[in-house]
Amino acid sequence: MTRTTPPRPVDIAAVFPEIAPLARTATRLHPRPGTPGVHDSSIGGPLLWPSDEPWPVCGESHENGGDFTRLDVERRRRRILSAAWGRTRKGEQFAITPEERAELDRLDKEYADPDTPATMLAVAQLFMREVPDLVGPPGADVLQLLWCPRDHGPHYCPSPVLRWRRSADVTDVLAEQPEPDVMEYDTYLPVPCVLHPEQVVEYPYADFLPGDLEERIRTWEESSGYDYFSELSIADGWKVGGYAAWNLTDPYPMLCDDCGADMDLLVKVDSGEWDGAESWRPLEDAGPESEFHEHPNRSEPTQITIGRGYALWIFTCPVSFDHPHGVSMQ
């Protein structure tokens, strides 16, 4: 099923024509739980990985101060919760059986040893043919994103690794994909999702609007009731390309560590697909609502949470894809 972002409540370029040249496309990924294969674009799915290429292990330092969970324990916990919520009618009591409750209690007591190898975890695989705003090095047609599901400085979030490759080069696919035994928080394990990419139009974060445009938009917001930041500029949810938001820290320069160039936004890893205002909820997800609860929640299909419901913004250097990526949490 395709996913369609509702039209913006107002065409900002019709109200302020000088913003029109700043329009930029982004691709919303629209992840939804499914069973992706190695040849699919996915979040939390298997990667098309050559059998003779070492799987990455994190070399950064870890404080390991969090609430560690084993991946197999978390998967079992999610299966129990999904089943129980799936038979809970809205407005009625949580329909969990005594056996399920007992197993959840037992799983809560399972020990997770932080002192195990920091093997990277597959997070996303994006084929350029399906994600129009994905721009990579010459010859590459797929981006693979892995992360170490522990907290790292300075943002206290997972540390990502990017791999670009040409899918035709992978003739002998790694059969059994490695993964870490444990993660620092259970919100660092993505639910396997298939993607329904959709291109949308974005405008700059308000602080970067030229001249006095930001000020005039603020005045217009007061009289019109529209909200430029949350409704008209940058899309909610996982996306590739477009503009970056800076609503948590205010803007700071995102410069390449190697060459000092201003970096471009590559991908946003988001905690949810739309917020309570539902401006960014795709038309296809507006209904009909089931009489039962859904787990995972419709607006949080990947079950990834960054910080307190923020997003991880990953940037790349426009000079060379060999230069290190940058990360911001907003």
Contacts of 93 (CB under 8 A, 6+ apart): none
What does the binding site for Zn ion look like in residue numbers (CB under 5 A)?
Answer: 58, 60, 118, 148, 150, 159, 256, 258-259, 261, 317, 319, 323
Buried b / exposed e across 288-315, counting CB within 10 Å, b at 16+? eeeeebebbebbbbbbbbbbeebbbbbb
Q: What is the DSSP letter of 18?
A: G
Our CB check for Zn ion shows the closer of 60 and 169 to be 60
C-alpha to C-alpha distance for 277 and 75, rounded to whole angstroms: 30
CB of 270 to Zn ion, least distance (A): 21
C-alpha to C-alpha distance for 14 and 201, rounded to whole angstroms: 14
Count of positions (residues) in the chain: 330
Our CB check for Zn ion shows the closer of 61 and 219 to be 61
CB of 164 to Zn ion, least distance (A): 15
Our CB check for Zn ion shows the closer of 118 and 235 to be 118
CB of 149 to Zn ion, least distance (A): 8
Say if residues 91 and 214 touch (Cβ distance below 8 Å): no
Our CB check for Zn ion shows the closer of 62 and 216 to be 62
Tokens representing 8 are 């913006």
Our CB check for Zn ion shows the closer of 118 and 182 to be 118
CB of 326 to Zn ion, least distance (A): 10
CB of 13 to Zn ion, least distance (A): 32
CB of 205 to Zn ion, least distance (A): 22
Burial (CB < 10 A; 0-12, 13-18, 19+), residue 279, is middle
C-alpha to C-alpha distance for 243 and 264, rounded to whole angstroms: 9
Our CB check for Zn ion shows the closer of 151 and 285 to be 151
